[in-house]
Structure 1
Amino acid sequence: MIRKRSLMRRTAAVAAAGAAALVLAACGGNGDDDGSAGHGGHAATASSSAPASASQGQHNAADVAFAKGMIPHHRQAVEMADLAPDRAQSAEVKKLAADIKKAQDPEIKTLSGWLTSWGEDVPAEGAMDHSMHDMGGMMTAEEMTELENASGKAFDTAFMEMMIKHHEGAVDMAKTEQADGAYGPAKKMAGEIIDSQSAEIEQMNQLLGKG
């Protein structure tokens, strides 16, 4: 009887130790995400994808925020650019729109890939919750409708004025990533966004006669 009791005690102790180790492993694998991966039930996938991102350095909460913010931001810029071929009058505006789409489409795919590898949710297509209205330079639904209904010179002017505001927001987000981010490829992309979009802002200001 005594022997049986001590055996049971030993079995319970081993089970408890095993459970504790599992808890520690789960916590440890998600330690550098500031808990942001946990609320979506992705804690386990974050730890399993660690080796994939380790080769390019660890990421932090600022990198996640940059990717999650820049994806819908870029999507809207591409949506605006898609309106230009049928509505713009100026050849410069049509080319500018094509350049914006060509640059930002691949970046959306790259940003989405990073989020997936980090065990984070990729923002859904068309997902515009209330928090996005505060995001730098995002157009409201009313502004997008105004742009859709414009054509010719009126479209050119509205497109450039809105895109300048949009680009300025993206540049601000990219500067925040460069200051606070930890993931090398994300900081490199942020630098490219700052350079290319600042140049496009200057070009649009000149076309509008504000340069």
Structure 2
Amino acid sequence: MTPRIFTRRAALVATTATAALVLAACGGGSGRSGHDSASSSSGAAATAGAHNAQDVSFAQSMIPHHQQALEMAQLAAGRASSAQVKDLASRIEKAQDPEIQTMSGWLKSWGEDVPMSHGSMGSMPGMDHSSHSGMPGMMDTKDMGELKKMSGEDFDAMFLTMMIEHHKGAVEMATTEKGKGKYGAATSMADDIVTTQNAEITEMNKLLGKG
């Protein structure tokens, strides 16, 4: 067990009880996720216009990163006990699936390889995430397996803890794209990701009683 995994799993034990109390006490009201602007600003398929290697890398990396977030979010409907966690998961799913389609369109128009589609991933339960384990914030196969075993308040705490780390990785990747990318729609999406996912990190920390 690596230090990163050990630390995260140790933190889960410590946060579960607190999270359960906080989640139970919190009222409704979800707020807007802010993802809407991402799909609207880059909804059209890209032309093979001005882009660079960073833009390609961003799309090829962010697609599987988003795919794992969707896989995590889809578990919440049947496993989460908190309505707020379910709402957050639904917003993540509704926002990131269109972004996957948009980035796939860019790569196709650029003549670049497109990572495995979400539909293909969804048909492969227990998908091996080891090929993307070096990507910031990505969970490994064991992490995902443990999340799938959870339910109720334990699921809520583990989901939030994992998704915070996952979002931090996405923000790191998007920040790199903002600084080094050339394709306007890609850097715009990256900016939206930084803004939205930082806000959701704050929201999730509050649900865990950390904010």
TM-score category (smaller protein): 0.7 to 0.9
- Structure 2: how far apart are the matches of 1:195 and 1:179? 15
Aligned pairs for 1:80-95 within 5 A: 80-95=72-87
Structure 2 Cα separation of the partners of residues 100 and 73 of structure 1? 12
> In the TM superposition, what is the alpha-carbon distance from 1:132 to its structure 2 partner?
1.4
Give the superposed CA RMSD: 1.5
Larger Rg: 1
1:185 matched to 2:185: yes
Equivalent residue number for residue 155 of structure 1? 155
- Please list, as runs of the form range in 1=range in 2, the aligned pairs for 1:8-87 lying within 5 A after superposition: 52-54=47-49, 58-87=50-79
For residues 55 and 132 of structure 2, the distance between their equivalents in structure 1, rounded to whole angstroms, comes to: 17
Correspondence for 1:114 among 89, 106, 115: 106
Partner of 1:10: none
Structure 2 residue identity aligned to 1:136? P
Q: How far apart, in 2, do the equivalents of 1:109 and 1:153 lie?
A: 33
For 1:97, which of 81, 89, 98 is the aligned residue?
Answer: 89
2: CA distance, partners of 1:145 / 1:80: 11
Question: CA 1:130–1:90 in 2, change beyond 3 Å: closer, same or farther?
Answer: closer
Corresponding residue number in structure 2 for 1:29: none
Instruction: Say if 1:168 and 1:86 are closer, same or farther in 2 by CA, change over 3 A.
Output: same
Where do 5+ consecutive residues of structure 1 fail to align?
1-50
Q: Determine the C-alpha separation between the residues in 2 that align with 1:52 and 1:89.
A: 44
Tell me the equivalent position of 2:13. Answer: none
Residue deviations 1:13-51 (CA, integer Å, cap 9, x gap): xxxxxxxxxxxxxxxxxxxxxxxxxxxxxxxxxxxxxx9
Q: Does 1:201 align with 2:201?
A: yes
Taking the aligned partners of 2:129 and 2:94, their CA distance within structure 1 comes to: 26
RCO higher in 1 or 2 (8 Å CA, sep ≥ 6)? 2
Q: Deviations over 1:99-155 (max 9, x none)?
A: 000110000000000000000010124486755111000011001011100000000
Partner Cα distance (1:86, 1:177) in 2: 35
Which amino acid in structure 2 is aligned with residue 150 of structure 1? M
The match for 1:7 is none
Tell me: CA distance 1:129–1:84, structure 2 relative to 1, closer, same or farther (3 Å): closer
Counterpart position of 2:165: 165
Instruction: Give the secondary-structure state (helix, strand or coil) at the position aligned to 1:52.
Output: coil
Scaled by the length of structure 1, what TM-score is found?
0.72
TM-score, normalization: structure 2? 0.72
Report deviation, 1:53. Answer: 3.0
Secondary structure of 2:47's counterpart equals helix
1:136 alignment counterpart: 136
Q: Which amino acid aligns with 1:151?
A: S
**CA distance in 2: counterparts of 1:80 and 1:122, whole angstroms:** 21
